[in-house]
Structure 1
Amino acid sequence: MAFGKGCHLHLIDGSAFIFRAFHALPPLTRKSDGLPIGAVAGFCNMIFKYVEDNKGPDAPTHVAVIFDKGSHTFRNDLYDLYKANREDMPEDLRPQIPLTREATRAFNIACIEKEGYEADDIIATLTVQARDAGGRVTIISSDKDLMQLVGGGVEMLDAMKNKRIGVEEVAEKFGVGPDRVVDVQALAGDSVDNIPGAPGIGIKTAALLINEYGDLDSLLARAEEVKQPKRRQTLIEKADQIRLSRQLVQLDAQTPLDFTLDALEVQEPDPDALLGFLGQMEFRTLSKRVAENLGVAPPAIPDTNPAGANPSAEPDAPENLPFVPEGYECVRDAAALGLWIERANARGWVAVDTETTSLDEMRADLVGISLSVEPGQACYIPLGHRDGSDDLFGSDNLAEGQMPLNAALDLLKPLLEDPAVMKIGQNMKYDAKIFARYGIQVAPIDDTMLMSYALNSGLHGHGMDALSERYLDHVPIPIKSLLGSGKSAITFDRVPIGDAVKYAAEDADITLRLSQLFKPQLHQRRVTTVYETLERPLVPVLAEMEMAGIKVDRDTLSRMSNAFAQKMAGLEAEIHDLAGQSFNVGSPKQLGEILFDKMGLEGGKKGKTGAYATGADVLEDLAAEGHDLPARVLDWRQLSKLKSTYTDALQDHINPETGRVHTSYIQSGANTGRLASTDPNLQNIPVRSEEGRRIREAFVAETGKVIVSLDYSQIELRILAHVAGIDELKQAFREGQDIHALTASEMFDVPLDEMTPDIRRQAKAINFGVIYGISGFGLARNLRIPRGEAQGFIDRYFERFPGIREYMDDTVKFAKEHGFVETLFGRKIHTPEINAKGPGAGFARRAAINAPIQGTAADVIRRAMIRMPRATCGLPAKMLLQVHDELLFEVEAGAVDDTIAVVRKVMEGAAMPAVKLDVPLTVDAGQGANWAEAH
């Protein structure tokens, strides 16, 4: 069939298919002979799906799959840094590239690549030829570089979203039509391809300029007319760089090709050739599907995975299926649920998500459960939706068309507790706690939030919506669109079931896709050990701690609140007296006017609002200069925070059913691996002030029990001594010396027997400050001494312990070269700002220096916590809280000594056998009727 009017050409971006398949499929990737074939399997599934989806009246008449060939093209001759920052091809992918070409030919589809040209250039050439011949073109890709071709019978199809991209969509993305996309890209540049563009000009600004001046040549010719000075200077000085960028982004539609469009006519595959290839690859499932489609018998493929071995090397469905509600089912009866349970058992995995009435797992009611066993297919089981769900004050009667809660849970319990079926969740700890309250112990579990955290700590957040947008290019349904916000917000049990199905099933679908994307990357990025030994096994430990909670005495808190209020009133009167007038002490604006206008103190700086800055740093500097009023305001603020954040707020957090406070720990909250405590935050209760320490008196043991605290002694200093190789410090730790006194003696030439508390205090501040990269300014503020004196302390410290400076410099160098630092246990903490300029550079440097030390300490206590349930099994003791380096237990009075002995042994040996430290880890223990007494 000669190509002409009425013909429809499909051009498939083959390289995009390959990389999508490689990064998005489960890690079942090898043939029986060890050859990696995961990307080939995914590619074949995607091509087969494409063929199946493109039958009927609108089927293409001509089709080709276009690939990149080699990495050097004519653009590298124009600019040797073009794509220079691209990572090398993964080793497992390299041998699969030629197999994807074989696969394309096996499907009897034209396979095209050309040395020296990119796939995009070939696509551009074929597109122009087809358009000139009067035909239509669909480019199956989401590559923004190809959007310059859209229009005049040419459109794109984003197969991931099943979304058509026409002229309007291009204009929405770039702010200009397809004919000016190249001009905008030339200005904006592209960090992925290392196209320089015009520094400081992004897509939006570029579009504004092109729309104002018409095209790039006119803009550069009239650059002197641009009003903004910096923008004008950039356009003038970087004109040649911008023109070069245009050459790099402009697709070559004159690529020499040795065939015509007629050669791309759609052909039926040869069954023997296609099934022969699939059989050679050991793709049993796909071979069966293809054979059924072709109406022939499937080939006999020997089972290379006997019982008990890993399942077939062939991954299942492709991961680029669109997110469409048509793939989501509402399960309303036992028969329908049974089918989903059978599918999950057959797969060996299932993504699970719960919908509830609250984010508080200890009080939330279960409303529904969603499941997904393959991408694009999920279900929602409504269990607790109410009548009148459109009305905030609707009936409390259950809506029709739901399964009875107990009946559904009885069916799901064997699946959720089956050790042979992996349960996959996003923040699985929440769902596990919900199920635990209904008598179901979910195990084993995988968690996509924690996979992302192990892979990408320091790069971005790990919430599901953000991960979906970033890695699946899909914006999930926002919860606010269902619940509303503010006073008019409803709970999930008031959401109509039809809307709930779309939202909840999509969550399970996204979770499964993220799992299939992240799981193989754990091995590829060498963080499997971090995920498997530090993240995944900690989930049930934290869940049990959180459900146990800790008893808080309401009367004690109430008395403290009253005492704090009285003391605040006294301070307020003293502040008014010092100011010579009454004013609102809690008003930064009024305080600034008193300090800098009325009292004339130096250092007043106004912000954008016109008010003086009166933050803690400003007040601390003024207090260090001997001014009483700012010092009293700091005291007042501290009491106000203690009262509002703890003594008042903690009373609201006491669970009425348990009488205890149940905090939640966030594993992925801090880049370094430290746990974060929330709702309420029990890790930030101040311990340096007497009032802060008193708050811990309200955390009490039940009758007949004792609070036991075990705390690592100076663990971060010990790790610093190990990683920096400071022999003096290592020896001191081995001998059990007072490390702060020793440091003071070494630095200030003061014999140990003449050591004063003040000198020791200064050494302690330096010891801990150095770990956090403290500056002379920061140390001066902490010690309330002149900045020059403080800087002198730090300089002497580095002179005395040169290994610390060497460690710091080496760590920063490593971070700049690799983009991350590592703990001793292999946790990678990414440092994206380490090469930044300006004010943020110092913070990024300090964070990189501290991260391996703090992160290793965090990893150590995680390892201890994971081992604790087995070690304390049989003891009448419960682990209740973790506060950085401290673990808190509630123990029956007669078992305190045994518990301390067991827990101390676990904590002191937690680094072993993975890491052998040059210094011993020591643990201090205490006990008492409340936390204050025990610590």
Structure 2
Amino acid sequence: MKKGDHLFLVDGSGYIFRAYHALPPLARKSDGLPTNAVLGFCNMVWKLMRDARNTDVGHPATHFAVIFDYSSKTFRNDLYPEYKANRSAPPEDLVPQFGLIRHATHAFNLPCVEMEGYEADDLIATYCHMAEEAGADATIISSDKDLMQLVSPSVSMYDPMKDHQIGVPEVVERWGVPPEKMIDLQALTGDSVDNIPGVPGIGPKTAALLLEQFGDLDTLLARAGEIKQPKRRQSILENTDKVRLSRQLVTLKRDVPITETPDDFLLEPSNGPKLVAFLKAMEFTTLTRRVAEATGTDAAQVEAAFIPVEHGASAHGPDMEIVSSQTDDKVQDTPEKQDTDEKDEGDTPARLAAQRARAAATEKIDVEAYITITDLQTLKDWIDEAFETGIVAFDTETTSLDPMQAELVGFSLATRPGRAAYVPLGHRQGAGDLLGGGLVEGQLPMREVLAQLKRLMEAPSVLKVAQNLKYDLVVMNRHGIDIAPYDDTMLLSYVLDGGAARGHGMDFLSEKWLGHKPIAFGDVAGTGKKFIGFENVAIDKATHYAGEDADVTLRLWQVLKPRLAATGLVSVYERLERPLAPVLARMEQRGILVDRQILSRLSGELAQNAAAIEEEIYALIGERINIGSPKQLGDILFGRMGLPGGSKTKTGQWSTSAQLLEDLAAEGHELPRKIVDWRQLAKLKSTYTDALPGFIHPETGRVHTNFAMAATTTGRLSSSDPNLQNIPVRNAEGRKIRTAFIADKGHKLISADYSQIELRVLAHVADIAQLKQAFAEGADIHAITASEMFGVPVENMPSETRRRAKAINFGIIYGISAFGLANQLSISREEAGAYIKKYFERFPGIRDYIEETKATARELGYVETVFGRRIHYPEIRAPNAAVRAFNERASINARLQGTAADIIRRAMVRIEPALEKAGLSARMLLQVHDELIFEVAEDEVEATIPVICNVMENAPMPARTLSVPLKVDARAAHNWDEAH
């Protein structure tokens, strides 16, 4: 270096922590890798380098380097083993970012300097000293007070976060002493963060006054007896040795035996492709665009670099490398490191997943590029192309969301990203015409198209990719076409991010992974009164919309499929999700018979019972009101009657939530109990007895529910249109509704229900010897629990005692509180709390299970079922205590409920082949959580039940062998209620 040069030295280690704490959490979309500190560092360095080269702003930099701590142990630990002993381990999500920031430094074409045994501050001090000796200037990019001892007329500091320059006047203003006395000041004050002792009770202001009075530290210590304040005098005299030690610890070395001199830090031009490759790997879209524009780099032609991510101790190591597949550029600190990462990593699933995600996020989607197929030869050519590529994305466009009544309007295909086509089949003229127009001219004949499509959809050599494949399975099966093999992007997302994502619909996934907002269905088919149906959409608009669906689906598959292997979730998808889709599709097509007359009679009974309760409510109130009006009820319950617990909603009216009314009813208040009863009857009538007839299919005479595979957090299925999983079974009215679900003539319904499956899973997972033994012996688990807790014999046990044990058994699974148990058992909260405490005392393994599950969820952000399904709880570390507690309770139950859901999924996949092998004609119709419903010929009932029970009870094997036997209760009857 020479006079006139300007050296920039970035305190890299210090800035990592500042950026981490200054920026909100940020994760790479493709794999959830934390990147907030990396982004802060990159933004800071990019701005610094722009400013450093700007001759219009101050003194431009000629030399530039980033300095890091090599490790936590330095020569200061030899002087004082307790040095920095108070420092806790860095946050878990910061650890992998240490190495990434070193990679970033290389990507910026900057020297990355560190030395074993010394801190970054010592290296900075040494380089500043060398610059001063050469007559050059130096700027330290940091605000750390430890470096302020280096400030001089030719050495300054700059805080990039506050855009604040720190020179000699700023040091004096901040600390009351000039830079040359900062060592003495720090020796007196010490530093609790670095565990530097100093003098107890001496702060910066006092230290500055003392140094002003005595001139320097040596003089102060020599004349400490002259200090007028007794306590201050005594403290300094007693800690003289600690002060001298502290001075050694805070003094920065200016003579580190460096191997690189400032002359090696000449500021080189930016390497645009290399920097863009790194930024694309980190998925910093905005900064990538800025850098590409500033460096004249075509970002679209640069592939993302492969950046190995290091966790744990290796994340702090000095050996870093960037591999850009576009530039084939390698940057390393040591020759022997070259190519090591490539050889070790290879084309790993994690690398492929990251590359796919980065590529997908940068490739543009152009709906104008999609074509409309209106001749048979073009369709054949596209199908031949699919056979050549071995993969095709497929999507149907229909007239209805109900696959059992939907008419096929067209379908789309995509053979590679950006190449998609739409085949219109049923578009009509005259949108909005009540009489309906004829088919739009130029569309291919349905029969000929379906013959070609069947060849493709059933070809074993071509993978079909769809979003929510089950819908397309039903639609195409009604046209005599099966689809196999297949992948479902919705299910891929569900397996990978169950609970972590807001949803698994195509639009959400497209915005998340592709950065692309698809065309909304309402934008082409209209909404509300302007809805025209897809069959009336102009074909050019339909091509844009449908082609985009197929194109986006294929791109999503490319992103999501490699993540299965990268995250170890292949078996969950292959064994629990993918094979279940066609099983559910067949169940939906079969449907279940419903007796209209029974529903009509029940509707009348519910109306009469509700009317009777209404009269009782009017009598209690003293006037006739609208019982369905929450406002009127709230005014009476809490305004006029003054019942406890009332609270107002945001709209200013009283809350009359079901839970609040249940609580009041449990306390003995009659009116809330009547209102609860009336609401239950009204809901049963409106939701089931009145609504179910509207769901009866006009052709099959059956109700065809829709099973949602990716709607719950834990892996449970849900059903809709109609929802058959929420019919109450704990009251007589709900059970009566099940009597309307009947078997066809000459058949019976079989209900096969797992007995206490979640308790059995708990006994296995938590390894509870008493529960395992009880289940193995087929004993009454609730009676056994009651006997353990209350010290009463199982024989002749009072029913109330068993009921309480049962409530606790099931309540523990759902993380029940003393308040909740008190309400359920109508006892005091203190008594309920004592029950729960005693329960954990008798079954300590359950408490261990609960605490271990919560700890795991907090550490990983998810829990796993016995079969490896991950159930994410991203808010389990939320700052809000109530949110954290809710997520902890949910995680406790999720492992049990999720495992039970996985077990029944495994059973459902195996039951049909087992029935076929046994030569039985039974058909599976419904799944309601732990229960399966079958329709069976009357003469096959006795042979069918053992087959069903055997498959269900052995469903976990061979993947897992539970230490507790599973038990299935199965019965046959003419209606669902009698069979249950």
What TM-score, normalized by structure 2, do the two folds share?
0.66
C-alpha distance after superposition, 1:320-344 (max 9, x if no partner): 4311123201111111111110110
**How much does 1:626 deviate?**
1.4
Structure 2 residue identity aligned to 1:798: F
2:974 corresponds, among 910, 929, 933, to: 929
Aligned residue number for residue 341 of structure 1 = 383
> What does residue range 841-920 of structure 1 map to in structure 2 within 5 Å?
841-873=884-916, 874-920=919-965
C-alpha distance after superposition, 1:186-219 (max 9, x if no partner): xxxxxxxxx9xxxxxxxxxxxxxxxxxxx9889x
* SS in structure 2 at match of 1:925: strand
> What does residue range 499-518 of structure 1 map to in structure 2 within 5 Å?
499-518=541-560
Aligned residue number for residue 637 of structure 2 = 595
1:623 corresponds, among 635, 660, 665, to: 665
- In 1, the alpha carbon distance for the partners of 2:733 and 2:696 equals 21
**How much does 1:260 deviate?**
8.5
- Which stretch of structure 1 is more off in the superposition, 896-905 or 781-790? 781-790
CA distance 1:637–1:535, change in 2 (3 Å): same
Aligned residue number for residue 628 of structure 2 = 586
* SS in structure 2 at match of 1:80: helix
* SS in structure 2 at match of 1:839: helix
Aligned residue number for residue 755 of structure 2 = 713
Aligned residue number for residue 488 of structure 2 = 447
**How much does 1:898 deviate?**
1.0
- In 2, the alpha carbon distance for the partners of 1:83 and 1:626 equals 55
**How much does 1:791 deviate?**
1.6
Structure 2 residue identity aligned to 1:901: P
**How much does 1:76 deviate?**
3.1
**How much does 1:124 deviate?**
7.6
In the alignment of these two chains, the number of paired residues is 683
Q: Is the contact between residue 126 and residue 261 of structure 1 (CA under 8 Å) also seen in structure 2? A: no
1:827 counterpart = 2:869: yes
CA distance 1:375–1:583, change in 2 (3 Å): same
Q: Is the contact between residue 525 and residue 531 of structure 2 (CA under 8 Å) also seen in structure 1? A: yes
Q: Is the contact between residue 489 and residue 553 of structure 2 (CA under 8 Å) also seen in structure 1? A: yes
Structure 2 residue identity aligned to 1:739: I
CA distance 1:511–1:267, change in 2 (3 Å): closer
C-alpha distance after superposition, 1:613-664 (max 9, x if no partner): 1111111121112121111111110000100111111110000110000001
CA distance 1:897–1:124, change in 2 (3 Å): farther
Aligned residue number for residue 575 of structure 2 = 533
Residue ranges of structure 2 left out of the alignment (5+ in a row): 1-8, 58-141, 143-160, 165-264, 275-294, 299-354
- In 1, the alpha carbon distance for the partners of 2:822 and 2:810 equals 14
**How much does 1:794 deviate?**
1.1
Structure 1 residue identity aligned to 2:564: L
C-alpha distance after superposition, 1:702-729 (max 9, x if no partner): 0000000100000000000111111000
- In 2, the alpha carbon distance for the partners of 1:488 and 1:475 equals 23
CA distance 1:129–1:334, change in 2 (3 Å): farther
- In 2, the alpha carbon distance for the partners of 1:127 and 1:349 equals 50
CA distance 1:596–1:121, change in 2 (3 Å): closer
**How much does 1:577 deviate?**
0.7
Structure 2 residue identity aligned to 1:709: S
CA distance 1:318–1:472, change in 2 (3 Å): closer
* SS in structure 1 at match of 2:744: coil
C-alpha distance after superposition, 1:559-588 (max 9, x if no partner): 100110011000000111111111111111
> What does residue range 170-569 of structure 1 map to in structure 2 within 5 Å?
257-259=267-269, 319=360, 320-389=362-431, 391-393=432-434, 395-460=436-501, 461-569=503-611
C-alpha distance after superposition, 1:744-777 (max 9, x if no partner): 1111111111311111111111100100000011
Aligned residue number for residue 832 of structure 2 = 790
CA distance 1:482–1:259, change in 2 (3 Å): closer
Aligned residue number for residue 155 of structure 2 = none
What TM-score, normalized by structure 1, do the two folds share?
0.69
> What does residue range 20-99 of structure 1 map to in structure 2 within 5 Å?
74-80=11-17, 82=19
Structure 2 residue identity aligned to 1:411: Q
* SS in structure 1 at match of 2:410: strand
C-alpha distance after superposition, 1:34-90 (max 9, x if no partner): xxxxxxxxxxxxxxxxxxxxxxxxxxxxxxxxxxxxxx9744332436459888999
Q: Is the contact between residue 726 and residue 803 of structure 1 (CA under 8 Å) also seen in structure 2? A: yes
- In 2, the alpha carbon distance for the partners of 1:89 and 1:840 equals 24
**How much does 1:831 deviate?**
0.9
C-alpha distance after superposition, 1:868-913 (max 9, x if no partner): 1110113110000000000000000000111111010000000011
- In 1, the alpha carbon distance for the partners of 2:272 and 2:851 equals 63
- In 1, the alpha carbon distance for the partners of 2:900 and 2:610 equals 38
Residue ranges of structure 1 left out of the alignment (5+ in a row): 1-71, 94-113, 134-194, 196-214, 219-254, 269-313
Q: Is the contact between residue 30 and residue 357 of structure 2 (CA under 8 Å) also seen in structure 1? A: no
- In 2, the alpha carbon distance for the partners of 1:756 and 1:934 equals 28
* SS in structure 2 at match of 1:474: coil
1:741 counterpart = 2:783: yes
- In 2, the alpha carbon distance for the partners of 1:425 and 1:266 equals 39
CA distance 1:258–1:560, change in 2 (3 Å): same
Question: Sequence identity of aligned pairs in percent?
Answer: 53
CA distance 1:126–1:766, change in 2 (3 Å): same
Structure 2 residue identity aligned to 1:918: S
* SS in structure 1 at match of 2:428: coil
- In 2, the alpha carbon distance for the partners of 1:261 and 1:770 equals 60
Query: Which has the higher Rg, Structure 1 or Structure 2?
Result: 2
Between 1 and 2, higher relative CO (CA 8 Å, sep ≥ 6) is seen in 1
- In 1, the alpha carbon distance for the partners of 2:530 and 2:863 equals 46
Structure 1 residue identity aligned to 2:862: F
Structure 2 residue identity aligned to 1:423: K
Q: Is the contact between residue 356 and residue 559 of structure 2 (CA under 8 Å) also seen in structure 1? A: no
1:609 corresponds, among 624, 642, 651, to: 651
- In 1, the alpha carbon distance for the partners of 2:52 and 2:461 equals 54
**How much does 1:132 deviate?**
9.1
> What does residue range 141-160 of structure 1 map to in structure 2 within 5 Å?
none
CA distance 1:934–1:262, change in 2 (3 Å): closer
- In 1, the alpha carbon distance for the partners of 2:735 and 2:463 equals 44
Aligned residue number for residue 306 of structure 1 = none
Aligned residue number for residue 221 of structure 1 = none
C-alpha distance after superposition, 1:509-541 (max 9, x if no partner): 000000000000000011111011100000000
- Which stretch of structure 1 is more off in the superposition, 501-510 or 74-83? 74-83
CA distance 1:398–1:88, change in 2 (3 Å): closer
Aligned residue number for residue 673 of structure 1 = 715
Aligned residue number for residue 688 of structure 1 = 730
Q: Is the contact between residue 752 and residue 970 of structure 2 (CA under 8 Å) also seen in structure 1? A: yes
- In 1, the alpha carbon distance for the partners of 2:30 and 2:438 equals 56
- In 1, the alpha carbon distance for the partners of 2:845 and 2:357 equals 53
Q: Is the contact between residue 272 and residue 296 of structure 2 (CA under 8 Å) also seen in structure 1? A: no
Aligned residue number for residue 812 of structure 1 = 854
- In 2, the alpha carbon distance for the partners of 1:559 and 1:328 equals 55
* SS in structure 2 at match of 1:431: helix
- In 1, the alpha carbon distance for the partners of 2:271 and 2:740 equals 80
C-alpha distance after superposition, 1:72-124 (max 9, x if no partner): 97443324364598889999x9xxxxxxxxxxxxxxxxxxxx9x985984698
Q: Is the contact between residue 19 and residue 41 of structure 2 (CA under 8 Å) also seen in structure 1? A: no
Structure 2 residue identity aligned to 1:469: E
Aligned residue number for residue 208 of structure 1 = none
2:697 corresponds, among 634, 651, 655, to: 655
